[in-house]
Amino acid sequence: MFNFRSIEIDAAAKSGWVQAGATLGELYYRIWQKSNVLGFPAGICPTYGNLLRKYGLSTDNVVDAQIVDVNGKLLDRASMGEDLFWAIRGGGGASFGVIIAYKIVLVPVPETVTVFRGLDNETNPAVLLSRQPESVNFGKRKSDYVQTPIPKASLEWIWKKMIESGKTGFVFNPYGGAMDEVPATETPFPHRAGNLYKIQYSISWKEAGVEAEKKYLGQIRRIYSYMTPFVSKNPRSAYLNYRDLDIGIVQPASKNSFDEGKVYGGKYFNGNFERLVKVKTAVDPHNFFWNEQSIPVLPSKA
């Protein structure tokens, strides 16, 4: 998708078309070229940003899309239908086709803000156009949702365990605000009202080899296990964009793909999983668009 990088910003209409190969930095730069009082609620790291509590998720601000379906047809919102359009806004678009572009809504932002980041206010905005990662490491991410406050004594215990476990770090992402105002079924992303914050568990390392991988994966998995009493239950929910194969995978050409997919699908999508499966079955019945955690199709009737 590298060559699908076109970005068209219409500041007067407060909207834009963004192809799927464009980076967020490129999008922000193109918006800045047209207006210093418009923005888009996307990420300061991939998928997650500071405007979430005011304007919701990126998917809440997508109003059209272009997708190539399993038959090779290029569809927009009108021709794909509302069920598929619903599914590709937070349901893992790669399960349904090849998404070429999204039409987004731009939102008002202050002309000047103060933020704590690694770049000072003299930095040339063109730095946003860089497509080179800051570093290349091995890494693993996991996630949880917290729905009731964790007592102070428990937080102190968790902090102790985190230090004992080695390199695993925590990031707490607060929810609320506009997030709570969108019904859980409005898009496939269900983790809205009732969630205080999301936890990201993060570990990165530079050493290559099986032994290093085993060591560091063991650290993050232990921390994840320690957190069990303090996070969401039935299901223990997870954030889709921190793909975590520990919570389940579907095997290639598996006859039990629905049952296997339900394990991780219920964690990522909660009650929206079954609707996603129905959409998948309708638009890709032979499961051409498959990956280890794709949306499965309904089991065939005997």
Q: What is the mean pLDDT of each run of 10 residues along the chain (302 residues)?
A: 92 98 93 96 71 92 98 98 98 95 97 74 78 78 97 96 91 91 96 95 94 97 97 96 95 82 97 98 95 93 60
Q: What is the pLDDT of residue 137?
A: 85
**Predicted TM-score (pTM) of this structure:** 0.91
145 is catalytic: no
Note whether 250 and 296 are within 8 A (CB): yes
What's residue 1's pLDDT?
A: 77
Domains for the chain: give ranges and CATH numbers: 7-129 (3.30.465.10), 138-230 (3.40.462.20), 248-302 (no CATH)
8 Å CB contact between 95 and 294:
yes
Q: Are 88 and 77 in contact (CB under 8 A)?
A: no
Amino acid at 134: E
Phi/psi class of residue 230: alpha, beta or left (left: φ > 0; alpha: ψ in -120 to 50)? alpha
Report pLDDT for 48: 64
Which residues make beta-bridge pairs with 18? 7, 102
49, two tokens: 């940003």
Of 102, 224, 239, 242, the catalytic one is 242
Look up residue 130 and give its two tokens: 């860089």
- How is the beta sheet containing 15-19 ordered, strand by strand? 7-10, 15-19, 98-105, 62-68, 74-75
Per-residue confidence (pLDDT) for residue 233, from 0 to 100: 96
Given this model, what pLDDT does residue 43 score? 76
- The pLDDT value recorded for residue 64 is 99
